Amino acid sequence: MVFVNESIMVFSMIAAIMALGFIGDALSRKILLPSVLMLMALGIIFGPVLNLFPRDLLLGAVPYVAPLTLAFVSFEAGLNSDLPTLLGQGKRAVLLAVLGFILSALSVGVLLHYALGIRWAYSFLMSSAWSGVNITVVSTIFKYVKVKKETRSAFTLVSLLDDPIVLVSTLTLLNYILLGQTNAQDIALRLSSNVAMSLLLGVGLGLLWLYLLYFFRKEEYTYTFTLAALFVVYITTEALGGTGVIAVFVFALFIGNYRSVIGTLKLRIPRGELSKLKELIQKFHTELAFMVRSFFFTFVGLIYAFTGVPELLIALGCVALLHVMRYVTVRIVTYKSALSSDIPVIGFIIGKGAAAAAMSTLPLAFNFPYAQTFTSIALSVILFSNITSIVLPFAGAKLSKRPRISNGEPTELAEVTFSK
């Protein structure tokens, strides 16, 4: 009987969150606001304000909701990315990811240390969890704000690289707290092996899937088959010590850029045979990814908790520092490049998501001092970083509506558009 009651509760919550996601998106179109803001607002109203959802049960779902969202969004990003452009922006993306993470983690860690009076290890454990950029937020912003193709590719890659950096660095700091030992060589080894494993599996399984898609090209329900493969790629990569998000992105990149891959590697697959199949997969996954993304942002609003003004002020201070460090990083790395014209947009994207939420639960899981305070600050950082990461790029795009110059020639203006 208990099992039945719990099942009813879980399914009711899922249905309610999906309904809120639909309502939030519909309302956002009516009042011309990004759906992300409306979804989180509805989540806060029906969650912490009206208390209609059991928060403990929602927090227990974070380890499941977060990876699912990351997998779907990274697959969508891979399908819609241009491989040649992505490869051309690889070095710049790595520099943006690494430098941005270091500056953000150091500055926020110092703030937490002095504001809370805690050990450096605890402060950097949390600042490390919040120093990346979430691909869900990045892909959402790029749906509404027009930027260069090179900028989209570079920052998409940055958001993908940030997850393994956040995971490895935060777990390494956790290891230091628990065991009292770690070193720079160990960090570098873990990070490099993590990324290498993810890329290797993404490339290998992506090539294998191109052959399987060609073999089953005339069968029905190909997208369902591909969706199963998405989960297999993610699970296999995580089980072998890699980052599933990166592997799924590369896997989808091979499907989305099958013509380039087939031509470059001289695969024995007629290019025209996969054209309709790719369009079908793209269409179905875009709709499914929209549903998952709407669910996630509503979920973030539902788990928000206000525990006091001091924690709120510290969280806002962290968000402000994260914005400053991200803007400084983008300024430095894009100096005298074509990407610099998009700084009013990409210079303000710091939105946190699944990786930050998952890593922020570590203090509670290991019963660290100030664990509840950490969780409260973390949820505020996640919430407000998402809000400011939507509002500020929109404002930047509006204010920078002037001819952009690239190599002496005017280029396309930044535009804010709303999807239908």
104-118: pLDDT as tens digits: 999 999 999 999 999
Dihedral pair phi/psi, residue 145, rounded to 5°: -110, 125
Secondary structure class of 164 (helix, strand, coil): helix
Average confidence score pLDDT of the chain? 81
E strands in 108-166: none
Q: Per-residue pLDDT tens for 46-66?
A: 888 888 888 777 877 877 887
| CATH of segment(s) 61-411 | 1.20.1530.20
Give this prediction's pTM: 0.73
Report how far residue 341's alpha carbon sits from residue 377's, in angstroms, rounded to the nearest whole number: 34
Cβ atoms 76, 249 nearer than 8 A: no
DSSP 416: B
Secondary structure class of 147 (helix, strand, coil): coil
Cβ atoms 220, 230 nearer than 8 A: no
Task: Please compute the mean of the pLDDT values over residues 261-269 and round it to a whole number.
Answer: 84
Alpha helices in 89-148 (DSSP H): 90-116, 120-129, 135-144
Least confident of 119-123, 151-155, 330-334: 151-155
Most trustworthy range by pLDDT among 69-83, 276-290, 305-319, 370-384: 305-319
Cβ atoms 288, 7 nearer than 8 A: no
Task: Please compute the mean of the pLDDT values over residues 304-327 and round it to a whole number.
Answer: 91
